[in-house]
Structure 1
């Protein structure tokens, strides 16, 4: 049975679904500079020591080492970047450039009657088994990825299906690729390039490259991949013809994001991408290094004593209540909190030895509006939601506290600095409350509208946040990204307005001993009152909200409940909120609940506030990170959602399935490809189709920009901000950190040589020795 299916590019939890980003060339700098460049401590190679080991944190070890399979992830791509040929790599502006380690030249040599691309390979380029890299490897990969043989389990065939034939050129170092149809994104092909041993047969492609790569060609070879220790070792390739790798070994170590500050402090890793809370811990530790003795390492005090007291009291009550399972879980939670409080000072002392490097990821976070059904099926309502948003305010909310450029993203298909980038947001228009209200009124939504609902239903401007039943406790497991990744796939999300995990905060004051049964009831009431006070919730006459079980007891003390009568209907006006046809304008807002998704939830709350100003109500549902994409976004069970898409140098190819018009399938379902908003038009599809076949690069980019303007006008997704990238690293690590849009240059990563204690450099050392 064939397992062929498309691999999603997106939904960066920091887990993005996580996919390797694809890498052509053009001329001109019309798109301007990148919003933020790499922050990697660039160091000349002569100042980098030869040898050493660097341990780099990754989310997990990959299930496959074949980047063209559906379960490939970010670590698959990272390994491929170090051990396999990359014909084109991304520069600091996210633009593909030819890699001289593998290519002397690659160019279109014929346009008529058919497009022909000639690759001239580096004459020293060889596989680790000594065989020259050549046409046979190109042919084998094309046949595996062309889509003609369903025995190959491929996730994507884009571009390869347009190839007619591949031939050896005048020499063994030349490869001629002839296309059936013109293909503007030809540079995206053969990066990475696998040896023919991997792509030559379906068995080798499907299974042979899942756990090992016997033949490689990069500055590093693939060493042991150990699932037990969670490490993959990359070792210096002795056959590498380019500048040799500075490191002896690069060890990729699987560490959940919530555990990374502790792993850094314990010396398990030297470099790790962290979320906002982790970055704050490191900054706090560095500041504490200058505080008086006895004060350094002390946890920051709680900002909200009432909320902390309520949480501590509820935790104690649950741990000593009648529900044994819940009590055990709470006891375990409290024990972990106490352990974290004990470890905290020592960890802070160790974290002083790290620095945080900052840039912006090659990915943007968007607000998705599901146009398949409900109020958002009306384009006027979608446009009104978009016009209600202050995108600059949302960008500043996430990026300004991190010291990063806080400019809204103006394109769905490229980021600032990339050649296809242009701010086309004017096709929709900026924040305008009056325009939003006029669009809603035109769609028939009115204030003070009459709504009918069951008697006793809660009236108010916003429904309480709901839980889908799959939401874990905040302490039940690590998050998957800085803002919740959902790049549909990796990151990721990732950097939030978080106060931190349990390890970041002092342990709450805990009750010392068990109480009698009646004291437990009093304790629960007090805790509820504290919670209500912290949240601003009205309490009942006794100072605590009435609990559901209390209401049950009042209704029937003897326990013989009679069947409940059908709820009576009540009619009321919607007040300042909008209504039509007897119902309020309420949108289901789905957000991930994991501890790494604080930024998404904060942004979601601010968006809800903006929508209330124009009369749109939101009903927020918090769902587990595992459930967020699969059960809600992909299945269409949402109205509003926040997730991320990775940037690509090849939007004509990679952006089309994200914005393609959904089409009915034979079974009556809707084929959405990767368009999870279900909003698309024939014109958008036509513009992408024209762009992908246009060999004039500037003409192709202009078609892409026109498609982007149409996507803005359709208001299915609203780009908000480029995702932050925070990397904790030891200060003496060179040429690594927050890479931004650029691809890592693995052979240049290493440890800085120690400063010479001679001449002018020795003054500080002499002073210390006095």
Structure 2
């Protein structure tokens, strides 16, 4: 599954579901990716078409793993990729990502956004006078102020997925008028473009109850090229339609229909015309079937999506011991897993060696070093820790070394990866019980609350390595953010803070890699492989496919069907 990284980074459920990370994870701000020629993979693959070549109208049928648990992206249950993809049609993203991981400015929302002072750091945002919320209210500096109050971490009643960046803001003020916003930082924050995107209306942030529960079933106020026509949790569908009050370029599509489709049913749903694309999710069987479908084309790009294993280091967990976590990690042969999953779909099957930069980034370094697979070293460390072989499994003080690997049901690659891990762990005397839980409950009832020893899911990252990932690795006892394994240290916190405040791109990249080395040393989580970025897409669909980093948000005004 997939989660999005908050800048926010989003998670994806275990190789099947995606989470959005709140902040980022690949490009170094505006530095972007390496040229496609150096990696052999396209920056994006979307069947780019001029708008006059697209039909006016049509319904784009979009499959999702689940409808949002919360339509407030910043609430801990809301930072999931499916929701983030949907919100791009109905909410403002002032700082859209480009395919190459650079960051733009959407002038439909802001006419400008500039650093007007470096010490203290002050950003001035000028709001487009045409920008209005669906309740008729004009955008205002108060929207920025309300978001900051909700997300700065001072009031823990707000159940936020990340406080990164907002916690560094000293004040938000009205400038020359309500459309002029001045944000002053108490501490420098280099990735300031990661903030306020998506922007929410002040009404959604009014109090903790509204923030946590008021948008649980539906977005109450919108401002985008589309608006909500209906949401049906029983039928598991949501339909968006063109918003006639939208002040920007008119979308080509009439409607977008989001429908929950179980992963094993995706290919059949596409063949039957029930959906217009689907993520191949690194599944070779799905990949081959898409290649043979006469109505489909497989599109691939350098996509910011990677699979990892999170370890639960909470004090009550069997993996609370850092050295035990590291021993377990060294027993995982990520090379074998990568080749097994990716080998028939792309040439590059090298494992991922960095938590904060993905392959393709100009500043990527493989920092896995001494933590790479070494079965003998793993066995020796387990012996040293007192976990002695006793039959098939190791034991200590009468307790067997057996771990619960929680995965979402209906995700074949999660199951396959889990079985490989099970075999590899058996070789070092560690037992793995694979627990498959309903996909709709995977994050909310298991990952978010630490109900696992090990778990697999995918992070969808973005252009902001700190803004997107700090909440995953920063340890704050008062706010878990997205640090589901409860692992960290004061040293790592300081390294992340240092990187966040460094305005020089080269120095910040070095700081970020230093932080990544500490993440490895803590046994925080194990990156396994970066996604193939492969999607099956209807041949008649234009300006959509495998977008590289241009998925935060998708440009809904340009998607359409070729004439």
Identify the TM-score tier after normalising by the shorter chain. Answer: 0.7 to 0.9
C-alpha distance 209-282 of structure 1, shift in aligned 2 (>3 A): same
How far 1:152 sits from its partner (Å)?
5.9
Partner of 2:345: 402
C-alpha distance 434-158 of structure 1, shift in aligned 2 (>3 A): closer
C-alpha distance 63-617 of structure 1, shift in aligned 2 (>3 A): closer
Is 1:717 matched up with 2:525? yes
Q: How does 1:695-714 map to 2 (within 5 A)?
A: 695-714=503-522
How far 1:748 sits from its partner (Å)?
0.8
Q: How does 1:92-107 map to 2 (within 5 A)?
A: 92-107=99-114
Q: How does 1:538-553 map to 2 (within 5 A)?
A: none
How far 1:357 sits from its partner (Å)?
3.2
Task: Give the gaps of 5 or more residues in structure 2.
Answer: 1-5
Q: TM-score, normalised by structure 1?
A: 0.62
RMSD of the alignment, in Å?
A: 3.9
C-alpha distance 54-370 of structure 1, shift in aligned 2 (>3 A): closer
Q: Is the CA contact (8 Å cut-off) linking 1:95 and 1:419 kept in structure 2? A: no
Deviations 1:544-569 (A, max 9, x none): xxxxxxxxxxxxxxxxxxxxxxxxxx
How far 1:592 sits from its partner (Å)?
2.9
How far 1:167 sits from its partner (Å)?
3.0
Rounded to whole Å, the distance in 2 between the matches of 1:581 and 1:60 is 41
More displaced stretch, 732-741 vs 89-98? 89-98
Is 1:367 matched up with 2:309? yes
Partner of 1:751: 561
How far 1:111 sits from its partner (Å)?
2.1
Partner of 1:594: 409
Is 1:39 matched up with 2:51? no
Partner of 1:305: none
Decide which of 185, 190, 199 is 1:184's aligned counterpart: 190
Is 1:735 matched up with 2:538? no
Partner of 2:436: 623
Rounded to whole Å, the distance in 2 between the matches of 1:58 and 1:174 is 38
How far 1:110 sits from its partner (Å)?
0.9
Decide which of 686, 694, 697 is 2:502's aligned counterpart: 694
Q: Is the CA contact (8 Å cut-off) linking 1:219 and 1:237 kept in structure 2? A: yes
Q: How does 1:348-747 map to 2 (within 5 A)?
A: 352-359=294-301, 361-371=303-313, 379-403=322-346, 405-418=348-361, 421-426=364-369, 428-436=370-378, 438-440=380-382, 442-443=384-385, 451=390, 459=391, 461=392, 586-588=401-403, 590-592=405-407, 594-596=409-411, 598-613=412-427, 615-625=428-438, 639-661=453-475, 674-743=482-551, 744-747=554-557
How far 1:719 sits from its partner (Å)?
0.9
Identify the structure with bigger relative contact order (alpha carbons < 8 Å, sequence gap 6+): 2
C-alpha distance 271-623 of structure 1, shift in aligned 2 (>3 A): closer
SS for the counterpart of 2:116 is strand
Rounded to whole Å, the distance in 1 between the matches of 2:150 and 2:451 is 36
Q: How does 1:128-277 map to 2 (within 5 A)?
A: 132-147=138-153, 155-170=161-176, 173-200=179-206, 209-213=215-219, 215-275=221-281
How far 1:150 sits from its partner (Å)?
6.9
Deviations 1:363-405 (A, max 9, x none): 3222344455788555555444434443222212111223364
How far 1:188 sits from its partner (Å)?
2.0
Rounded to whole Å, the distance in 2 between the matches of 1:374 and 1:166 is 41
How far 1:146 sits from its partner (Å)?
4.3
C-alpha distance 155-235 of structure 1, shift in aligned 2 (>3 A): same
How far 1:148 sits from its partner (Å)?
5.4
Rounded to whole Å, the distance in 2 between the matches of 1:235 and 1:725 is 28
Rounded to whole Å, the distance in 1 between the matches of 2:343 and 2:133 is 46
Q: Is the CA contact (8 Å cut-off) linking 2:166 and 2:195 kept in structure 1? A: yes
Rounded to whole Å, the distance in 2 between the matches of 1:29 and 1:155 is 26
Q: TM-score, normalised by structure 2?
A: 0.82
More displaced stretch, 41-50 vs 208-217? 208-217
C-alpha distance 707-282 of structure 1, shift in aligned 2 (>3 A): closer
Q: How does 1:337-348 map to 2 (within 5 A)?
A: none
Is 1:109 matched up with 2:52? no
C-alpha distance 185-593 of structure 1, shift in aligned 2 (>3 A): closer
Rounded to whole Å, the distance in 1 between the matches of 2:84 and 2:110 is 20
Rounded to whole Å, the distance in 1 between the matches of 2:290 and 2:414 is 26
Deviations 1:552-593 (A, max 9, x none): xxxxxxxxxxxxxxxxxxxxxxxxxxx676879844252537
C-alpha distance 429-30 of structure 1, shift in aligned 2 (>3 A): farther
Deviations 1:738-765 (A, max 9, x none): 3343221111100012xxxxxxxxxxxx
Rounded to whole Å, the distance in 1 between the matches of 2:187 and 2:438 is 41
Rounded to whole Å, the distance in 1 between the matches of 2:189 and 2:60 is 40
Q: How does 1:311-350 map to 2 (within 5 A)?
A: none
SS for the counterpart of 2:269 is helix
Q: Is the CA contact (8 Å cut-off) linking 2:331 and 2:373 kept in structure 1? A: yes
Q: Is the CA contact (8 Å cut-off) linking 1:20 and 1:67 kept in structure 2? A: no
Q: Is the CA contact (8 Å cut-off) linking 1:54 and 1:249 kept in structure 2? A: yes
How far 1:41 sits from its partner (Å)?
1.8
C-alpha distance 271-369 of structure 1, shift in aligned 2 (>3 A): closer
Rounded to whole Å, the distance in 2 between the matches of 1:155 and 1:691 is 20
Rounded to whole Å, the distance in 1 between the matches of 2:311 and 2:21 is 26
More displaced stretch, 407-416 vs 382-391? 382-391
C-alpha distance 247-619 of structure 1, shift in aligned 2 (>3 A): closer
Q: Is the CA contact (8 Å cut-off) linking 2:90 and 2:227 kept in structure 1? A: yes
Q: Identify, as 1 or 2, the structure richer in helix.
A: 1
Partner of 2:3: none
Task: Give the gaps of 5 or more residues in structure 1.
Answer: 1-5, 288-350, 452-458, 463-578, 666-670, 754-770
Rounded to whole Å, the distance in 1 between the matches of 2:12 and 2:258 is 23
Query: Larger Rg: 1 or 2?
Result: 1
Deviations 1:700-738 (A, max 9, x none): 332221111011123332211023444333211111123
SS for the counterpart of 2:337 is helix
Rounded to whole Å, the distance in 2 between the matches of 1:398 and 1:92 is 25
Rounded to whole Å, the distance in 1 between the matches of 2:202 and 2:458 is 35
Partner of 1:568: none
Partner of 1:280: 285
How far 1:63 sits from its partner (Å)?
4.5
More displaced stretch, 741-750 vs 410-419? 410-419
How far 1:425 sits from its partner (Å)?
1.4
Is 1:58 matched up with 2:64? yes
C-alpha distance 376-31 of structure 1, shift in aligned 2 (>3 A): farther
C-alpha distance 632-616 of structure 1, shift in aligned 2 (>3 A): farther
Partner of 1:321: none
